[in-house]
Amino acid sequence: MRIVLFIMAFMSPLLVECRVRRYRFDVVMKNTTRLCATKPIVTVNGKFPGPTLYAREGDNVIVNVTNMVKYNLTLHWHGVRQLRTGWADGPAYITQCPIQPGQSYLQNFTITGQRGTLWYHAHISWLRSTVHGAIVILPKHGVSYPFPKPHKEVVIVLAEWWKSDTEVIINEAIKSGLSPNVSDAHTINGHPGNTPDCNSKDRFKLKVKRGKTYMLRIANCALNEELFFKVAGHNLTVVEADAVYTKPFETNTLIITPGQTMNVLLTTNQKIARYLVKVSTFMNSGVAIDNNTATGMIEYKEEFGSYEFTTRPIPIMGTQPPPSNATSIARRMLDSLRSLNSAKFPALVPQSPVDQDLLFTIGLGINPCPTCPRKVRLVADINNVTFMMPTTALLQAHYFNISKVFSADFPRKPAVAFNYTETQQPSVNMVTTSGTRVYRLPYNSSVQLVYQDTGIVGPDNHPMHLHGYNFFVVGSGLGNFNPKTDPLNFNLVDPVERNTLAVPTGGWAAIRFRADNPGVWFMHCHLEVHTTWGLAMAFLVENGNGPQQSLLPPPKDYPKC
């Protein structure tokens, strides 16, 4: 008996350390009331936002996704590395074909070397406007945070809300060739707060104790809006970005692009009161935006022993959101981000020289459209290539050697160099080519990619997301990238590590990563309107040596085209 108990005691940490977590996600319609009106929306398990998925680093996660709506559907686990399991990544027609109505797909992946806040969302059409939720990855048992443990952790999901059906909105925009309507409100955990058209008590509220520290796990799940986040009377200490620890720093305003997540510490060191939370749009180009500000509230609780006292009126402390074009506020916060780069959590930045040196221009264009009312349509592109979605999944075509689905000739740089950020471009620069083209990367190659915004049609701020990878943001600036002088100022020691970055309006940003995850990985702007217009491409990362450096075979229930 003693021997058995000894063996069980020896094995129990291993059993606890890595467990299988099973979830059932039923995608269903749900009548939901916001802005004083009710409409049916697509949801996960009838919730908006969807349920939070919890796991620990090292866990195996199995999600049974069942499509119970009329739309084709996929789910993407945004920021999860999906090492060798690209079949579970989720973007429609990139790693899988959609889950048909009435069908299910078991998405199976392991959380490897990650801890923090990520999120999941639908990855087809505009369904992610309501099909999204947070992913909370806790550290392994026995591993503490690199900062004092907070009193409580709170998930905060930011999003947008339309009074109309978003599928109708985007389909009408595609037919017209013009921009879609902007949203009617922003939401905090599904609630917009009071708006000019609807005086409602429908708002996010967090009750807190004075003298405690709370960790806010914030995800921007909005379709098309970069968002400021601000709490009246309080500074926020940033400790993590995109599920990677950062060097802590204080700020009174966060800027979070669609696709990004951020963990911040809020210490309740102010007087007993109710403090407004404001979420508003950041946009420093001439693009139409939703000007509504979502409001929530953090309410201090008065305590005497174990009892709460709420007899006397509690004052409300307000705050003004930044101007929508407050570039200096956004840049100050973004420029403060640095990887923790500690012995336990090192920043493994690929050093010079790199194996692959890429320059990708990103921007908008105008192409002929005989069926559109104005005979032209707005498009978007990378290196003048507007991405065309295939009808067979790229990963399926790659693995099974299906021909004529894509070509592996995506350009590593623009075909012709020009003054990229000049806003007065010749009309010939506005027309793009179209194709399903990928860029091939040898396994374990080091990659430097410079994103260059263009002034074609108009400059814009593009939040670029790379599936299957984290990358280091080694540099950024305004104007045209200078390949001789700008790399001299790259941070190759402790740059922030992310899966989504904001390329400055009228500027550039440089990233580095190591291509150590075989498969086909989508890269696109996380402004959904730009992805719809074709601001996307894919990397095909080859297998390495042996099975541990090779893509796993597809699961039996893999949704093929």
Domains 152-335 and 356-549 share a fold: yes
299 vs 17, residue with greater confidence: 299
pLDDT of 158 above 80 = yes
- The confidence score (pLDDT) of residue 311 equals 56
pLDDT at position 9 over 80: no
* 32-49 average pLDDT score: 98
User: What are the pLDDT digits (tens) for 317-370?
Assistant: 999 999 999 999 999 999 999 999 999 999 999 999 999 999 999 999 999 999
Q: Residue 429: what pLDDT? A: 82
Q: Backbone dihedral region of 546: left (phi > 0), alpha (psi from -120 to 50 degrees) or beta? A: left
Report the amino acid identity of residue 436: T
* Predicted local confidence at residue 201, as pLDDT: 80
Superfamily of domain 15-138: Cupredoxins -  blue copper proteins (2.60.40.420)
pLDDT of residue 12: 37
Q: Specify the DSSP class assigned to residue 318.
A: -
Give the per-residue pLDDT at 13. Answer: 38
Average pLDDT for 98-112? 98
As a whole number, mean pLDDT of residues 430-456 equals: 98
Distances (CA, A) of 102 to 26, 69, 81, 82: 10, 8, 28, 26
Q: What's the confidence (pLDDT) of residue 260?
A: 99
Percent of the chain, pLDDT > 70? 95
**Residue 483: Cβ-neighbour burial (10 angstroms; 0-12, 13-18, 19+):** exposed
Q: Are 367 and 432 in contact (CB under 8 A)?
A: yes
Fold of 356-549: Immunoglobulin-like (2.60.40)
The answer to whether 177 and 378 have CB atoms below 8 angstroms apart is yes
Global confidence as pTM: 0.95
Q: Answer whether residue 8 shows pLDDT above 80.
A: no
- Characterize 132-162 residue by residue with b for buried, 16 or more Cβ atoms within 10 angstroms of its Cβ, and e for exposed: bbbbbbbeeeeeebbbeebeeebbbbbbbbb
Residue type, 404: K
Convert the pLDDT of each residue in 469-492 to its tens digit: 999 999 999 999 999 999 999 999
For residue 186, the cross-strand partners are 160
Ramachandran area for residue 417 (φ above 0: left; ψ -120 to 50: alpha; else beta):
beta
Confidence tier at 303 by pLDDT (50, 70, 90): low
Q: Model confidence over 24-40: pLDDT tens digits?
A: 999 999 999 999 999 99
Superfamily of 152-335 according to CATH:
Cupredoxins -  blue copper proteins (2.60.40.420)
Residue 560 confidence class, pLDDT cut points 50, 70, 90: confident
The upper half-sphere exposure of residue 226, i.e. CA atoms within 13 Å in the direction of its Cβ, equals: 32
Q: Measure the N-to-C terminal CA separation of the chain; round to a whole number of Å.
A: 56
Kindly report the average pLDDT of the chain as a whole number: 94
In the prediction, which pLDDT does 312 show?
Answer: 67
DSSP per residue, 380-403? EEETTEEE---SS-HHHHHHTT-T
Domain boundaries, the chain: 15-138, 152-335, 356-549
| pLDDT confidence of residue 60 | 98
237-264 mean pLDDT: 99
Q: CA–CA separation, 422 vs 133, rounded Å?
A: 39
278-304 per-residue burial string, b: 16 or more CB within 10 A, e: under 16: bbbbbbbeebebbebbbbbbbebeeee
